[in-house]
């Protein structure tokens, strides 16, 4: 087989991988968004209060936090193909069981299991990208698969509002679970890891031959940078993903149908931001910037965009509030495409899942704390205070990423020559 044939085969395989990862992430977020959209209905049907809702989200994030490091380690050991297969199959079954919810306690238990299952999507996705894409295309690939989360969030409001209004919110959970089962079948048939790792530097591959004990990862500056950076940044996304419909209903007076008609708009811009941010840093890499430096440049610009959270709650016009929130989410996903790419820039493929999982653990912990704070602030102070605090959090995250995460990994330079 000639070189051109190999390149065509690799390109075809990469497109399939990205499509599958995008679809898994979209289903993942469709699962999550369903609850946030029907929360106003559940207030009446199962007695779910605002504080109850914050606790249910907390329970989900608790499961997510517990599973992050474990899922990353398991996927590194058993491989991307089997690891993601099991994760999606598990969360699909749990989603279907949501149709049987009878009260707050049963809802919380199912959300705990959903968090445990869904945590593997990002360690597995980043690992799959590291196995299939070169450094100068990696952030864009991460941006594409991560934009599945925004696609899921885009389609959720109109679909969920429509189904809940015409039929039943219980049926919605069952339908989403079945789409996950379809994905599992497609993944099993189509995903194959390359026989070689063509995109890792020789020194990095050699360094990965012996698996390190878990505790050794905490001796790496980069790991601490990812952990603390995501602790402050990821809760911002959780806030908008889980609380935007509640905010629009309680602070802006939106009905369920108005939420269905407008709540998808910020997530559309979030989807665009992920692609733009990933592409921007990849362009810098192709023009000679070290991958980590390129990611940091785009992340700082993205953090500045997220300051739009301040005018988002101050404006009287609901239309302008949606506009400013759209800017925030554009900036966040641009940021996310790059911070999710950094583990693959600094660590070998065999460790990417675990490093991503460790950082995801602290991110989920930050999300748990911020979710409880959001519930209390929204009920006792105002949503405005939440917008202010989230803006301060992205400043802290940006400082940590710029200062703590090194340009190169000690003993294994994370620099790559751009390929044509």
Q: Is residue 209 part of a domain?
A: no
What per-residue confidence (pLDDT) applies to 181?
94
- Write out the residue range of the structural domain in which residue 306 sits: 13-190+218-404
Closest CA to 391 of 343, 331, 336: 331
Q: Is residue 2 part of a domain?
A: no
Q: Is residue 337 part of a domain?
A: yes
The backbone torsions φ and ψ at residue 412, rounded to the nearest 5 degrees and listed phi first, read: -150, 90
What per-residue confidence (pLDDT) applies to 211?
64
- Range name among 110-119, 194-203, 318-327, 411-420 with the lowest pLDDT average: 411-420
CATH number, residue 95: 1.20.1250.20
What per-residue confidence (pLDDT) applies to 215?
81
Q: Per-residue pLDDT averaged across 284-296, rounded?
A: 91
Q: Is residue 255 part of a domain?
A: yes
Domain count, the chain: 1
What per-residue confidence (pLDDT) applies to 195?
47
More confident residue, 144 or 25: 25
Q: Is residue 125 part of a domain?
A: yes
Q: Is residue 409 part of a domain?
A: no
Distance CA 417, CA 288 (A): 8
Confidence class for position 415, pLDDT limits 50, 70, 90: very low
Q: Per-residue pLDDT averaged across 217-234, rounded?
A: 92
Q: Per-residue pLDDT averaged across 39-51, rounded?
A: 79
Q: Is residue 205 part of a domain?
A: no
Distance CA 367, CA 359 (A): 12
What per-residue confidence (pLDDT) applies to 207?
43
Q: Per-residue pLDDT averaged across 237-265, rounded?
A: 81
Confidence class for position 324, pLDDT limits 50, 70, 90: very high
For residue 33, the surrounding DSSP H or E stretch is helix 3-45
What per-residue confidence (pLDDT) applies to 6?
59
Residue 64 has pLDDT above 70, yes or no: yes
pLDDT digits (tens, 9 = 90+) for 400-410: 999 999 987 65
* First-to-last C-alpha distance (Å) of the chain: 20
Distance CA 332, CA 306 (A): 7
Confidence class for position 216, pLDDT limits 50, 70, 90: confident
pLDDT digits (tens, 9 = 90+) for 149-191: 878 878 887 777 777 677 777 888 888 889 999 999 999 988 8
Q: Could you tell me what percent of the chain has a pLDDT over 70? A: 90
What per-residue confidence (pLDDT) applies to 412?
47
Q: Is residue 413 part of a domain?
A: no
Q: CB under 8 Å to 237, separation ≥6 — which residues? A: 329, 332, 336
């Amino acid at each position: 087989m000639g070189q051109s044939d190999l390149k065509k085969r690799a390109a075809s395989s990469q497109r399939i991988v990205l499509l599958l990862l995008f679809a898994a992430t979209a289903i993942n977020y469709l699962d999550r968004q369903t609850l946030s959209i029907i929360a106003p209905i559940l207030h009446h049907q199962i007695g779910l209060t605002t504080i109850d809702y914050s606790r249910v989200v907390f329970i989900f994030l608790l499961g997510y936090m517990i599973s992050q490091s474990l899922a990353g380690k398991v996927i590194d050991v058993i491989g991307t193909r089997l690891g993601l297969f099991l994760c999606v199959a598990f969360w699909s079954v749990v989603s279907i069981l949501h149709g049987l919810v009878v009260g707050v306690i049963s809802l919380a238990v199912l959300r705990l299991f959903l968090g445990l299952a869904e945590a593997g999507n990002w360690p597995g996705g980043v690992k799959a990208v590291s196995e299939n894409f070169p450094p100068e295309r990696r952030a864009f690939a991460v941006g594409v698969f991560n934009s599945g989360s925004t696609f899921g969030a885009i389609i959720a409001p109109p679909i969920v509002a429509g189904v809940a209004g015409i039929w039943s919110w219980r049926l919605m959970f069952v339908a989403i679970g079945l789409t996950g089962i379809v994905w599992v079948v497609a993944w099993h048939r189509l995903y194959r890891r390359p026989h070689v790792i063509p995109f890792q530097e020789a020194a990095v591959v050699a360094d990965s031959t012996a698996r390190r004990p878990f505790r050794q990862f905490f001796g790496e500056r980069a790991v601490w940078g990812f952990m603390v950076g995501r602790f402050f940044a990821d809760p911002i996304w959780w806030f908008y993903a889980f609380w935007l419909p509640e905010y629009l209903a309680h602070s802006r007076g939106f009905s369920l149908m108005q939420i269905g008609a407008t709540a998808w708009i910020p997530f559309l811009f979030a989807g665009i931001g992920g692609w733009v941010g990933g592409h921007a840093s990849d362009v810098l890499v192709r023009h000679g910037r070290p991958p980590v430096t390129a990611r940091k440049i785009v992340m700082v610009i993205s953090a500045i965009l997220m300051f739009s959270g301040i005018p988002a709650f101050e404006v009287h016009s609901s239309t302008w509030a949606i506009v400013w929130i759209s800017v925030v989410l554009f900036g966040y996903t641009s940021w996310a495409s790059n911070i999710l790419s950094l583990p693959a820039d600094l660590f070998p493929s065999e460790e990417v899942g675990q490093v991503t999982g460790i950082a995801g653990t602290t991110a989920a912990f930050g999300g748990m704390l911020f979710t409880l704070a959001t519930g209390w602030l929204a009920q006792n102070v105002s949503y405005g205070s939440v917008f202010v605090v989230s803006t301060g959090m992205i400043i802290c995250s940006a400082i940590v990423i710029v200062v703590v995460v090194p340009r190169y990994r000690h003993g294994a330079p994370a620099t790559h020559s751009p390929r044509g």
